[in-house]
């Protein structure tokens, strides 16, 4: 496995592979890798000749500077895991090389629409930062496809819109959320939960599952189901931002006739903000 922090070296290797007729599957990450990330790498191996993984904690997508500073750095362990999983190249740029014009001078990509609801409403500027970093990474790596987890479901849709907006010849593949035994969605943020918080954290999944059961049994009182879930989360010690039953294509509020629904939730437990979703 090759590890490049310099942009030019990484580009040269990817260019060499493409010239040899090899396809590239790309897995962008912010490090602190867990089994969910590694499952994306395994999927990438089955879809292309070469697998490139990036590890870059993007400052532009953190609306809370303190959250950025607290993001875990486990690079040595991440590289070992990726080598064991079989990645071909790991790209680990620093912010000064990635944003040579300076973070504050970066012209960010505003996609509008879906970026202003749910996570976008609670984290202003987040999706502009995501779109900006992903577009730069796509331009540098020039992959055949890119693999993303569905835990960040709204982000997945935003990236698909990004590809469409710029007519990028990249297939964006979403992979199901990886979960712990108790249902908690795997996330790098879980490492920051206290022992007591970790014991409660799966409640967010249980509330989503309870709504799914109600919906599949014919209950269409969406507002009542959302409010009940929020109340249950509060009783369990969470501070919910939202629980929303949405159209899985548009993320607009679901209607009785909506065929494909998804339930999305975000809530703080202590200082840690957790998100999750469940398709219906």
Fold of 188-273: 3.30.1300
CA separation for the pair 256, 152 (Å, rounded): 25
Can you spell out the DSSP letters for 135-183? HHHHHHH--SEEEEEGGGHHHHHHHHHHHHHTT---EEEEEPPPB-TTS
Cβ distance 120 to 126 under 8 Å? yes
Fold of 2-175: Rossmann fold (3.40.50)
Listed in order, the ranges of the chain carrying CATH 3.30.1300.10 are: 188-273
By annotation, the residues acting in catalysis are 37
* Other CB atoms within 10 Å distance of the CB of residue 236: 17
Name the percent of the chain in helix, strand, coil, to the closest 5: 45, 20, 35
Q: How much of the chain exceeds pLDDT 70, in percent?
A: 100
The DSSP H or E segment spanning 261 is strand 261-269
Listed in order, the ranges of the chain carrying CATH 3.40.50.620 are: 2-175
Residues 6+ apart with CB under 8 A from 275: 119, 151, 152, 185, 264, 265, 266
Q: One digit per residue, pLDDT tens: the chain, 280 residues?
A: 999 999 999 999 999 999 999 999 999 999 999 999 999 999 999 999 999 999 999 999 998 888 888 888 899 999 999 999 999 999 999 999 899 999 889 999 999 999 999 999 999 999 999 999 999 999 999 999 999 999 999 999 999 999 999 999 999 999 999 999 999 999 999 999 999 999 999 999 999 999 999 999 999 999 999 999 999 999 999 999 999 999 999 999 999 999 999 999 999 999 999 999 999 9
- Segment 90-129, tens digit of pLDDT: 999 999 989 999 988 999 999 999 999 999 999 999 999 9
- Segment 29-55, tens digit of pLDDT: 999 999 999 999 999 999 999 999 999
């Amino acid at each position: 496995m090759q590890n490049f922090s310099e942009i030019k070296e990484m580009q040269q290797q990817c260019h060499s592979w493409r010239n040899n007729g090899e396809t590239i599957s790309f897995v962008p990450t912010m490090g602190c890798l867990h089994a969910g990330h590694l499952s994306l790498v395994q999927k990438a191996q089955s879809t292309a000749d070469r697998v490139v993984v990036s590890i870059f904690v993007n400052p532009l997508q953190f609306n809370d500077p303190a959250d950025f500073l607290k993001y875990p750095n486990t690079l040595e362990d991440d590289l070992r895991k990726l080598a064991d999983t079989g990645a071909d190249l790991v790209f680990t740029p620093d912010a000064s090389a990635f944003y040579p014009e300076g973070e504050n001078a970066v012209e960010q990509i505003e996609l509008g629409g879906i970026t202003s609801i749910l996570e976008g409403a609670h984290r202003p500027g987040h999706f502009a930062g995501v779109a900006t970093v992903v577009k730069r990474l796509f331009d540098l790596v020039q992959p055949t496809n890119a693999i993303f987890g569905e835990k960040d479901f709204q982000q997945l849709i935003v990236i698909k819109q990004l590809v469409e907006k710029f007519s990028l010849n990249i297939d964006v593949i979403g992979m199901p959320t990886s979960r712990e035994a108790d249902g908690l969605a795997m996330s790098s943020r879980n490492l920051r939960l206290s022992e007591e918080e970790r014991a409660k954290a799966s409640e967010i999944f249980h509330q989503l599952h309870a709504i799914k059961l109600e919906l599949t049994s014919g209950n269409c009182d969406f507002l009542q189901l959302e409010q009940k879930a929020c109340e249950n989360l509060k009783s369990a010690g969470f501070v919910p931002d939202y629980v929303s039953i949405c159209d899985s294509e548009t993320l607009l509020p679901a209607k009785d006739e909506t065929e494909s629904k998804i339930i999305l939730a975000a809530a703080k437990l202590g200082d840690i903000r957790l998100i999750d979703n469940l398709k219906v």
